[in-house]
Structure 1
Amino acid sequence: MSSNIYFNTRGKFTIRRSMINIGTRLHHSIAPKHALKTARNLLLTPVRSTSNSDDPEGLLRSTHLTSEGRLNTYQIGNGPVWILSHGWSGSASQFFPLMEHIAAQGFTALAYDHPAHGQSEGRHAHLPAFVQAFDELIDNVDDVVGIIAHSMGSASVLESRHPKVDALPLLLIAPVLNYVDNLYDMVGKSGYSMKLFGAMITHIEDKYEYSLDTINPYQKLISRQHDTTIVHDKRDRFADFSTSESAANTTNNINLIATKGQGHGRVIKCDSTMAAFDSLI
């Protein structure tokens, strides 16, 4: 159900949406603890994406232990390191073509599966867990010279609290910059009880000491001093292109490359993304 919520672009009223709203509100009223547990299972459980293709030549698989569980990592190449961070219900395998391109330019491409994604440990995921895992990973990787992130992975990189990040160039692919607004909008459109959703958010905020009110990837992006390149399709149905356009128009540190016909996923391995990486090095 989580993907239906986070990637639902339909906004009109339906009987199904109305029934979800009534059912989740009633559940929360009658059995609040059980409703909260159910909400976590429904809303915080991503679809595990796996690759059906063979591993690229020279791919090294490993694991990295974090407080969010054991993360699976994937590495190609030699030289200074570019870290790659995927989005919700994605996996590191989405980056394999781009990683091969990075390695061919004399760098190491290091991607990883976020908690509860791909082959990493965990059942539930959310932005604070993304940020925590990323910060612990980058803290233990030497010679990092840049970061590439897709979709919600972009939000987690921009929300990172690690000092390394501010001094590195970023390549953001179809970034979700209006994360909080997008999250509430999608949950609202699904019909899910907003009161129950709010209770789940409060539980996460208390556990991670991470207030939702402080999450603002857009503001953190336009406040950055280092270069950022964004590759974003104009007709992306899941991440708002106009928000990326607004950010690029706000500061000279952001270069926006607009694509057509690449959507939210194919854009990861399109020619424009490969060229964007080349421009950053």
Structure 2
Amino acid sequence: MTFSELVRLWLVPPTFPAPSFPIAPREFTLTLGAVPLEGFPAERYPEVLGAHKTVACYEWPGDGPTLVLAHGWGGCAAQFAGWIKPLTQAGYHVLSYDAPAHGASEGTLASAPANAATLKALIEWQGKPVHGIIGHSLGAIATTLALAAGVPVTQAIFLAPICYVSDGLKNHGLRHGLTDSEADGLVAYFQAEFSTDLSLLTALARVSSPPPLTLFHDRADESVPFAEAETIAAHWPGAQLVEVPRVGHTRILLARGVIQQALSVLAG
């Protein structure tokens, strides 16, 4: 395979089963623009970056502050099913979405910038100050990209966050028979084509005033190393890292203790 073919294959997200929402949301759609997120080559890679894609969005009304739930790679809004009842019972106005090529949204190829563009479009659509964004896995990078694009948020919570997308791309190349040096070349090709390394730290450097951040991560997470959360916490001013044992990478979304701690953080 060529580098171009390998990258395209890598940008097809997996699909995972997701639970039903315990409380039915109001469902609606938004259509992303021709340049969904500034700074990325949407004219060359419109599908990867979500240009003109119609995305599924979800709303649970509430009289309290607005929260937005940002899913990760291969995920969807329904992965936050366990959060909906506690958040709405606490009075929050809750929003979520399926990024392009995820859940009920259009598309075949996906990326962190496309996820971030959807998050940004949803926040701009609802037109209210956002009290908090809760981002899982790649949703942490999407959140940081949205912050870099000027989305105003009071605070952020990351669950099992990814810091370095390039590690996943290099492993993808190795799985498809590349040598170590060839896999490094694949990463360099991607970075040149998309004008970014898609590191959370690179996005963070463009955030003028990062909001308070709390991170939850399992040291035994086999999908994303705990060290990535430690790196984010070390570079994000004032960040608090909470170690959560025995929940793994995806089950952290179902951990009641994490939900309750997040509620305490949000309540200030």
Bin for the TM-score computed over the shorter chain: 0.7 to 0.9
Residues 1:99 and 2:84 aligned together: yes
| Alignment counterpart, residue 83 of structure 1, candidates 62, 68, 75 | 68
Q: Which runs of 5+ in 2 are unaligned?
A: 34-49
Match of 2:201 among 202, 214, 218: 218
Which residue matches 1:138? Answer: 123
Matched with 2:41 is: none
Task: Quote the Cα distance in structure 2 between the aligned partners of 1:81 and 1:135.
Answer: 14
Check the 8 A contact 2:145/2:204 in 1, yes or no.
no
- Report which of the two structures shows the higher radius of gyration computed on alpha carbons: 1
Equivalent runs, 1:47-58 vs 2, <5 Å: 47-51=14-18, 53-58=19-24
The equivalent residue for 2:39 is none
**Percent identity between the aligned chains?**
24
Structure 1 residues 81 and 248, CA, compared in 2 at 3 Å: closer, same or farther? same
Aligned residue in 1 for 2:149: 162
| Preserved CA contact (<8 Å) 2:10 2:169 | no
Q: Which runs of 5+ in 1 are unaligned?
A: 1-23, 29-34, 206-210
In the alignment, the residues of structure 1 paired with residue 218 and residue 211 of structure 2 have an alpha-carbon distance, to the nearest angstrom, of: 23
d(CA) in 2 for partners of 1:64 and 1:48? 22
> Given residue 42 of structure 1, which amino acid in structure 2 is its aligned partner?
L
- C-alpha contact 1:146 1:169 (8 A) present in aligned 2: yes
Shift of the alpha carbon at 1:40? 5.0
Structure 1 partner of 2:46: none
CA deviation after TM superposition for structure 1 residue 123, in Å:
0.7
Distance 1:250 1:41 in 2: 31
1:185 to partner: Cα distance? 3.2
Q: CA RMSD in A?
A: 2.5
Q: 1:54 to 1:245 in 2, by over 3 A?
A: closer
1:1-281 matches, within 5 Å, as: 24=1, 28=2, 36=4, 38-39=5-6, 41-51=8-18, 53-67=19-33, 68=50, 69-79=53-63, 80-143=65-128, 144-160=130-146, 161-165=148-152, 167-180=153-166, 182-190=167-175, 191-192=177-178, 194=183, 195=185, 199=189, 202-203=192-193, 205=194, 211-213=195-197, 215-218=198-201, 220-221=203-204, 225-249=210-234, 253-278=238-263, 279-281=265-267
Q: Deviations over 1:202-244 (max 9, x none)?
A: 44x2xxxxx114x331365587542101111111111121232
Say whether the 8 Å CA contact 2:97–2:119 is kept in structure 1.
no
Give 3-state SS (helix, strand or coil) of 2:163's partner. Answer: coil
CA pair 57-136 structure 1, distance change in 2 beyond 3 A? closer
Match of 2:126, SS? coil
Choose between structure 1 and 2: higher helix proportion: 1
For the residues of structure 2 that align with 1:147 and 1:251, how far apart are their CA atoms?
Answer: 15
The count of residues paired between Structure 1 and Structure 2 equals: 238
